[in-house]
Structure 1
């Protein structure tokens, strides 16, 4: 042992002086960490452990929140939560609270529901109730309703025109039921002329509220239905299922609208999306982020966030990006500004409507660069970021809403400019040749 010690000492002394200093300091530090133990005082007279919980006053919680976010001990007022609506947004009683989604390329049950903040446990239970849910096909439609607490209550899967499966929440999971449609599908062309409004004129032509909504969504990127004028014409091709003389359900196949002497078309493809007569997609592409560069996420989308004081759900319906004040905020897509004002909780904020399906909101701004009613293009500057309203630091609160439902801006499936190619386009053009001649104005 002594010989080993002498060898080590000799090797140490032969090292250059800077190396000896560094190695010696490291050795002392390592020894100190190894032998150090914190002294904890345990009174012998107290058999109970030291208290492990710390109670905070409500006014102390603010300091523990993520930097640059909204204080979660306070909620946004109703005036901020409300997105401006109009006649075209009206839903029938059985449609209220129902969220719909058409399956597209790359979608899975998990990716679809997760962007709406639905709990992964519910998604797993659904997949266990029916393993075929793992094989969704392009063009199929799913719809669902939520409980007041935001949990999944019921999911409906339209596998085909003939079969619909429904999954209802039970105490032990989800129970599946299947319904086979026995009616005959019949095509019907309905046309008319715009009078007081498109909605009232379409109802006079024989379209239901749900069918009118389908037409508006199909044409939303080409036409602002509020701007249609008296005398404009429309022709709609619907496929309707008839059973014992009654209409059970319907599907929009194509629409033609003539406004100011110009014709606009939207034809349904096999993937459930609508394209023009050449197979070009109608949707306008979106930016993923509302700034020219990415910033740190200081608070994530969380529809089940709990208020630490009350224990009640206080949803965070968007994403907070920590950024310096004065950072340019961009419109993520083409649209119309529907709100640009100051509100107590949101500070200065802007809401932009994109077509009839999407709405984006931008809060805690320092300066507004747009006005209500103004048209904006993707990438346009609409504001400068700030720290106004209820805010714990400079940041941008950003929300994306689809069909009046808040979704996760970081994972939501956003519109993109696309078109059909190859055999899909050939099949579609053959379909166009059958549909367009039927879209006549009487």
Structure 2
């Protein structure tokens, strides 16, 4: 053997330098191919022996792109998180529906896509009515979803006189238009809180829809569950009257006196509510639940398909890959309604913001808040972790509006805003007309 090696070495050294380089490179490539794809030959068989390796389900999941979120394990139901009270029970039920007031820069696509509505449906809507490409500030969109989150109907309030409805059909969406022929009249309604605010408002003459509008307009200033008997309110509403009956209405302004303090919300031309000076009523939300933005390891996808089973396994939030122990922050002012350990979600926190918004934070290591605690935007509520059904350290973050999950990265969240310039001057002129009508009796 030694003689053979010496002979091979002598022959190699006798080659010219270019030939030695070529031979050496060929040898390296051959060895690399052999290591990369080993070939086992059995002399008694016409084909190579192939070994099949079975992976456990959990091992297989680690090879998938969305391994940070447990597949086919849904998050806790938001209905279980929300503490029921008389407002939830008595006010108009909004489950499965949503409404949105058009703001500057909005398009049909940007509004609906944040709620997980498929682009194919949005495209079909636009084909059914090209005017949908020309949404105006202050107009309102309302839509209804089925249990699977699929768009069934959309209503566009073009003006106080005209509304257009788009109903799903087998071929797309069918447009129907309605023109209102009634006369719009302003009405001022006064009331005194006696027990339930909802019942007190209805006793004063407000409809369920008007009660809901009042609650939304003041949701950032007032916790309606804590009103006291004897608190008073005045509501200015514009109603379309036809044959002596109200067909629809629009809230123009509200004043609520509680504990000797007045709270106002007055509607501007953009369809939003501001205080008497033209300042916004919300303190605004942060976009991310951490001090800085971390890598997204799994995106919002309400129709995500399990690549193993083929079943629909919605991912109702966004996963941020963060190191264990990273401070998790409340994105807005609110009240903690859940702070506990819960199965697949691990340690998690849910916060209610006003009456329409809820945020949830899951797979946490340490909880820093308790149910019933008030928090401000930016407050630390937990430290991130890897608890529950999780294959790696991350924060699962959800945003819900009217009990519907929306994309936290694209949703139009409340902002600290106010009116400026001509808009503010026009609004203040309107305030001077509205305030005298909101007398507390």
TM-score under structure 1 length normalisation: 0.86
Q: How does 1:328-347 map to 2 (within 5 A)?
A: 328-347=327-346
Partners of 1:276 and 1:282 within 8 A in 2: yes
In structure 2, what is the Cα distance between the partners aligned to 1:102 and 1:154?
Answer: 17
CA displacement at 1:124 relative to structure 2: 0.7
Q: Secondary structure at the match of 1:64?
A: coil
Q: Tell me the equivalent position of 2:218.
A: 219
Judge which range, 94-103 or 119-128, deviates more: 94-103
Partners of 1:335 and 1:355 within 8 A in 2: yes
Q: Secondary structure at the match of 1:215?
A: helix
Q: Tell me the equivalent position of 1:392.
A: 391
CA shift in 2, pair 1:97/1:74, >3 Å = closer
Q: Tell me the equivalent position of 1:325.
A: 324
Q: Secondary structure at the match of 1:425?
A: helix
In structure 1, what is the Cα distance between the partners aligned to 2:270 and 2:434?
Answer: 16
Partners of 1:344 and 1:390 within 8 A in 2: yes
Q: Tell me the equivalent position of 1:416.
A: 415
Judge which range, 67-76 or 90-99, deviates more: 90-99
Partners of 1:306 and 1:314 within 8 A in 2: yes
Partners of 2:264 and 2:276 within 8 A in 1: yes
CA displacement at 1:135 relative to structure 2: 0.7
CA RMSD of superposed structures (Å): 2.9
CA displacement at 1:55 relative to structure 2: 9.3
Asked if residue 282 in structure 1 is aligned to residue 281 in structure 2, the reply is yes
CA displacement at 1:277 relative to structure 2: 0.7
Deviations 1:267-306 (A, max 9, x none): 0000000011111111111111000111111111000012
Partners of 1:68 and 1:322 within 8 A in 2: no
Q: Secondary structure at the match of 2:344?
A: coil
Q: Tell me the equivalent position of 2:160.
A: 161
CA shift in 2, pair 1:309/1:180, >3 Å = same
Partners of 2:339 and 2:350 within 8 A in 1: yes
In structure 2, what is the Cα distance between the partners aligned to 1:91 and 1:99?
Answer: 18
In structure 1, what is the Cα distance between the partners aligned to 2:200 and 2:382?
Answer: 39
In structure 1, what is the Cα distance between the partners aligned to 2:76 and 2:160?
Answer: 43
Q: Which runs of 5+ in 1 are unaligned?
A: 1-19, 42-53
Q: Secondary structure at the match of 1:267?
A: strand
Q: Secondary structure at the match of 2:62?
A: helix
CA displacement at 1:66 relative to structure 2: 3.6
CA shift in 2, pair 1:84/1:300, >3 Å = farther
Q: Tell me the equivalent position of 1:13.
A: none
In structure 1, what is the Cα distance between the partners aligned to 2:91 and 2:97?
Answer: 10
CA shift in 2, pair 1:93/1:352, >3 Å = closer
Q: How does 1:201-216 map to 2 (within 5 A)?
A: 201-216=200-215
Q: Tell me the equivalent position of 1:297.
A: 296
CA displacement at 1:68 relative to structure 2: 5.8
Q: How does 1:116-131 map to 2 (within 5 A)?
A: 116-131=115-130
Q: How does 1:16-415 map to 2 (within 5 A)?
A: 58-66=57-65, 69-78=68-77, 82-90=81-89, 95-415=94-414
TM-score under structure 2 length normalisation: 0.86
Q: Secondary structure at the match of 2:250?
A: strand
CA displacement at 1:231 relative to structure 2: 0.9
Deviations 1:359-395 (A, max 9, x none): 1100111111001111111111000111111111111
In structure 2, what is the Cα distance between the partners aligned to 1:270 and 1:418?
Answer: 15
Q: Which runs of 5+ in 2 are unaligned?
A: 1-16, 41-52
In structure 1, what is the Cα distance between the partners aligned to 2:251 and 2:325?
Answer: 46
In structure 2, what is the Cα distance between the partners aligned to 1:140 and 1:55?
Answer: 57
Deviations 1:162-221 (A, max 9, x none): 000001111111111100011111111111111112111111111111111100110011
Q: Secondary structure at the match of 2:123?
A: helix
CA displacement at 1:434 relative to structure 2: 0.8
Q: Tell me the equivalent position of 1:45.
A: none
Q: Tell me the equivalent position of 1:16.
A: none
Partners of 2:284 and 2:415 within 8 A in 1: yes
In structure 2, what is the Cα distance between the partners aligned to 1:161 and 1:350?
Answer: 41
Partners of 1:217 and 1:357 within 8 A in 2: yes
Partners of 2:81 and 2:338 within 8 A in 1: no
CA shift in 2, pair 1:392/1:39, >3 Å = closer
Partners of 1:368 and 1:383 within 8 A in 2: yes
In structure 2, what is the Cα distance between the partners aligned to 1:188 and 1:173?
Answer: 41
Partners of 1:347 and 1:365 within 8 A in 2: yes
Partners of 1:73 and 1:308 within 8 A in 2: no
Partners of 1:68 and 1:320 within 8 A in 2: no
Partners of 1:67 and 1:393 within 8 A in 2: no
